[in-house]
Structure 1
């Protein structure tokens, strides 16, 4: 049975974007058969959740195809845990709301699943409240292969190092975890040409919000709860950079007009960073850029203070 997904923040974001308050989209609580087949083929899933302090984080869970699967119409099993040093390794040992994104870069497919996770002997079992496919426009095509190894020691900081700034500034993909006022978590994808994420300072990032499916899940969450987590994967080495902090949407059309393709801008303030070398055993081919990626220019609005 389809259910209306819009909460107060999503409705507010849609109104600010000039869209009608009602109608258009719904999601299901059950997993369609085609989605079950999709899940069991995947070697990774992005998961977003809050830690004990309420900070949002996004992490990458991996395994051989079959590690992620539907046990029934509303339950997903994940036979994986975050690696040592991951900010969500501890929180996922207890029941917690999670947002998950299964994404297949090689075929430009992705599916979002939100619900409540409980720990199991092999990882997690997630009872779902929301299941829906999503806009694939800005996924860069990549093919994976496995290069198993041991994850390195986690490096913690409260601001981006020079090397981390280079990773972010050169990224064509990142993932974002947010939650609504009630703590219901969500994980989503952002993509664009390298440079679409602007490093305004060691603690301030900005990126354009491009046209998508107009559901405003992420921006709607940010309207009522600014805490967010970002995940930047290093596709070549398997390292991950996890950031937590707060995000705000800049709805000023004049600011968006300065960035090609932007409908609005999002600014993120870093409060903590964790970098884990070799966190993922997956390595990926060089990308084939999405034909939808807007051009990136050096014209950058001044950061808000």
Structure 2
């Protein structure tokens, strides 16, 4: 039977004292320890897969794998097989180990469908890895920008540009211009999660502080699961992934996160219920890492009721 963990329940209770009880009933239906056939078939259609992992220091990282549709398969309801390897320099290459916890997000931008699965690595193969399902659930299509993917030639080994706590102008621009990012979090004994965030270009604020870069993004109305923020309530570390849909570049960042519940900044950002703030610690740009390019976006209708910085 599905359940929400302590951090998720804390945030639900902060929204309304009665919400944890109501969401507990939802969890019994929505959170599964297996993938329904619809999800299994869905993963097999995708040319990309977003993966959240944790390094040896306990820091979350978000990654994206790519391949021809069919590179992800599910031989049974509790198993997902991935026939793809991380791009050189991707932190996932270091974090993929036997019994490692992973968060997995399958997202099909052109239809705005997405499904999530969290589990553990059971096998490492030369061409990929196998994950045993611990939690599976679907997500709504809100805030997803519709894009059509197009496979291009396999990239050469991508140059890797390290980033430190003060992001380079190039990395800062990727964040400031993006309309989509992915965030990986984890909590001890509760596994790894990776989720999608979308907004108008400019929904991520980038500020250069003394010795570090600070990122701030809105948290809009959602499903009250609080998977991401619930993990952050228990472990404040988080990892972000930004994709350049024109060049195939990836920007990976890890740092310390905090939730801003109220105040003038929250009130000023149209549509925000709260804010998520990240102090950057480390990152990297993988140039041209993905063998896919995407069409120009059709923005989600929910963005009409949201702002930007």
Give the alignment's TM-score, normalised by structure 2.
Answer: 0.92
1:84-134 alpha-carbon deviations (Å, 9 max, x no partner): 111121221433000000000000100010000132232110001111111
In the alignment, structure 1 segments of 5+ residues that lack a partner are: 299-305
Alpha-carbon offset, residue 297 of structure 1: 4.0
Paired position in structure 2 for 1:256:
266
CA 1:93–1:257 in structure 2 vs 1: closer, same or farther (change >3 Å)?
same
Is the Cα contact below 8 Å between 1:97 and 1:183 reproduced in 2? no
Query: Is 1:79 equivalent to 2:83 in the alignment?
Result: yes
The yes-or-no answer on 1:200 pairing with 2:185 is: no
Give the 3-state SS of the residue equivalent to 1:196 in structure 2. Answer: coil
Moved over 3 A (4+): none
Question: Larger helix proportion, structure 1 or 2?
Answer: 2
Is the contact made by 1:151 and 1:280 (CA closer than 8 Å) also made in structure 2? no
Q: Report Cα offsets for 1:40-98 as digits up to 9, x if no partner.
A: 11111100010111111000011111111111010000011111111121221433000
Residue 183 of structure 1 and its aligned partner are, at CA, apart by: 5.5
Kindly state the Cα deviation for residue 136 of structure 1 after the two structures are TM-superposed: 1.4
1:154 paired residue number? 160
Residue aligning to 1:120: 125
Match of 2:226 in 1: 216
Q: Structure 1's 207 and 215: CA in aligned 2 closer, same or farther, altered over 3 A?
A: same
Aligned to 1:303: none
Is 1:21 the counterpart of 2:20? The answer is yes
Provide the alpha-carbon RMSD of the alignment.
1.3
Aligned to 1:94: 98
Q: Which residue, out of 220, 223, 229, partners 2:239?
A: 229
Comparing 196-205 and 127-136, the one that deviates more:
196-205
Q: Secondary structure at the match of 1:133?
A: strand
Q: CA deviation at 1:189?
A: 0.2
Match of 1:296 among 279, 283, 307: 307
Instruction: State the secondary structure of the residue aligned to 2:142.
Output: coil
**Counterpart position of 2:70:** 66
Hey, what's the Cα distance between the residues in 2 that align with 1:239 and 1:68?
22
- TM-score computed with the length of structure 1 as normaliser: 0.94
- Which of 163, 171, 187 matches 2:170? 163
Match of 2:280, SS state, is strand
Q: Number of residue pairs matched?
A: 296
